[in-house]
């Protein structure tokens, strides 16, 4: 039986989570939905986000037959996981808890830094998830990183300088708070495309946690009956991975930028209408 996995994001950044899932769980049938008509979720109220996310989850489960849902959207994971779980009967996994769990496993001293979008930081979802695990945490919004990635300036000197400035500010804030963080969580689905640059910009010994990768690891653990190779292992060939991408608007931008996030062609993105 080929498992059917639904992956949901407000935009297409969550394709980095899908990419990590495909490496961990090849041979599954994936449906990815980007609710691009209604992004950004970050500036909307909890009630509105819950309504949008529940509609999207129902599409993936009821119309695409997903047996398992991954919410590859930090805002929806932070504010609407309960509403999504109520809307569908399949297991639902968000990106926040796996990221915090990976930070706990990685950190020796329990002092953790998180970089994310403004909306994710304002939700303090990572902070809450880290605090309940007994860690000290400092979050920083890095609003320029998403537009730099979308402009294609990964590896660009300007992006290098922006990362350097943000991390320097974060280190100063951490020092002022008496923290000596040994772990940095990438709390945004766009940031895996900057992972190498960020790893070069952190102090030696600081571990960088990619929440997309952590989420894929957590998903693989939820399929104990299936093999889940590590990245780099030869892919299973018996059952080819199937990927269908859906979006509610801006299909052209999704197709143009998505392949860089997914690490392979996204193919034709299907436009769907979830209503107002």
Burial label, 200 (beta-carbon count in 10 A; 0-12, 13-18, 19+): exposed
Q: Could you say which of 250, 257, 261, 269 contacts a copy of itself (CB under 8 A)?
A: 250
Strand residue runs (E) in 104-253: 111-116, 136-141, 183-186, 207-210, 242-247
Contact between 271 and a copy of itself per CB under 8 A: no
Contact between 97 and a copy of itself per CB under 8 A: no
DSSP tag of 213? H
Handedness of CA 82, 84, 88, 89 (dihedral sign): negative
Residue count, binding to a copy of itself (CB under 8 A): 22
Q: Could you say which of 19, 24, 29, 44 contacts a copy of itself (CB under 8 A)?
A: 44
Q: Which residue has the tokens 């994710």?
A: 120
Strand residue runs (E) in the chain: 4-9, 29-34, 68-71, 92-94, 111-116, 136-141, 183-186, 207-210, 242-247, 270-271
* Cβ nearer to a copy of itself, comparing 30 with 166: 166
Q: Is 73 a catalytic residue?
A: yes
* Cβ nearer to a copy of itself, comparing 11 with 192: 11
Task: Draw the binding track, 140-179, toward a copy of itself (x: CB under 8 A; -: no contact).
Answer: ---xx-xxx-xx-x----x--xx--x--------------
Q: Which residues bind a copy of itself (CB under 8 A)?
A: 36-37, 39, 43-45, 143-144, 146-148, 150-151, 153, 158, 161-162, 165, 249-250, 253, 276
């Amino acid at each position: 039986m080929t498992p059917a996995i639904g992956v949901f994001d407000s935009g297409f950044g969550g394709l980095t989570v899908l990419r990590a899932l495909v490496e961990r769980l090849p041979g599954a049938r994936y449906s990815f939905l980007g609710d691009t008509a209604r992004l950004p979720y970050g500036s909307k109220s909890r009630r509105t986000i819950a309504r949008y996310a529940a509609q999207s989850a129902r599409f993936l489960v009821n119309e695409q037959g997903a047996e398992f849902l991954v919410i590859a959207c930090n805002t929806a994971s932070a504010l609407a996981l309960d509403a999504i779980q109520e809307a569908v009967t399949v297991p639902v996994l968000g990106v926040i808890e796996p990221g915090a769990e990976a930070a706990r496993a990685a950190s020796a001293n329990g002092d953790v830094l998180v970089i994310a979008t403004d909306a994710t930081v304002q939700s303090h979802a990572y902070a809450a998830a880290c605090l309940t695990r007994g860690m000290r945490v400092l979050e920083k919004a890095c609003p320029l990183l998403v537009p730099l990635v979308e402009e294609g300036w990964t590896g660009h000197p300007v992006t290098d300088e922006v990362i350097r400035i943000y991390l320097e500010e974060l280190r100063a804030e951490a020092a002022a708070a008496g923290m000596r963080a040994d772990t940095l969580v990438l709390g945004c689905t766009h940031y895996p495309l900057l992972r190498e640059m960020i790893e070069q910009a952190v102090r030696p010994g600081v571990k960088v946690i990619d929440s997309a990768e952590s989420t894929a690891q957590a998903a693989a653990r939820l399929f104990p009956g299936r093999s889940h190779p590590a990245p780099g292992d030869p892919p299973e060939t018996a059952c080819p991975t199937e990927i269908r991408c859906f979006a509610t608007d801006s299909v052209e931008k999704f197709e143009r930028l998505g392949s860089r996030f997914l690490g392979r062609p996204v193919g034709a993105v299907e436009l769907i209408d979830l209503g107002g």
